[in-house]
Amino acid sequence: MLTVHHLGISQSERIVWLCEELAIPYQLVRYDRDPVTRLAPANYKALHPFETAPVIVDGQVVLAESGAIMEYIIARYGNGRLSVRPDAPNYADYLFWFHFSNGSMMPVQFAGAIKPSPDESPRTRIQRERCERSWKMVEARLREAPYFAGAEFTAADIIMVFPLTTMRVFAPRDISGNPNVLAYLQRIGARPAYRAAMQKGDPQLQPLLT
């Protein structure tokens, strides 16, 4: 059986949520973060050479990286559900937002939590500007469409929700000025699979939907 190794309050929530949306059988193994370092414990790091969440085990397959895991599960167990066909008119939108989360948005979120200062480095300034640009793009996209790939919920939403919600535990951000993001997160929070995944994976965490 597919085993999802979930590190508390981490990107691996996406994998639990995906399995719940697809209604596929899986075994969930939870790990708490080290109380001092707030990093993954030693037994989680031992799962994969890169030592980060998420990780799945499927027979002889041990796979890391949330995007790769999601594509694997969708192809192997989901019969393509929650993805978008290459011949669909919104295929490019799906691809963009599926990869935007980890490729562009998440790496700059910590810089976005830093206030501008006269002595900040050019690198910090560029990352902070990119952070603000990413949120503006997200707000604009959710003004245009109810979901990132268009009219329907897809895996692009599952991968994009983490930087809008749980990542704010680590990189705090006030999103009260993003009405389209807030409306979107209420739609996400109403999904039974999302609620089930968050309750199973992080029962102590109130999802950051506001």
- Partnered with residue 28 across adjacent β-strands are 4
Say which residue, 69 or 118, is predicted with more confidence.
69
40 vs 117, which has greater pLDDT?
40
| CA 142 – CA 147 distance, rounded (Å) | 7
Alpha carbons within 13 angstroms on the beta-carbon side of residue 102 total 15
The Cβ-side half-sphere exposure at 150, using a 13 Å CA radius, reads 13
Q: What is the pLDDT of residue 175?
A: 97
pLDDT single digits (tens) 37-81: 888 999 999 999 999 999 999 999 999 999 999 999 999 999 999
Domains and CATH numbers, the chain: 3-81+196-201 (3.40.30.10), 91-191 (1.20.1050.10)
Q: In the numeric block, which tokens belong to residue 39? A: 């990093």
Q: Which amino acid is at 94?
A: Y
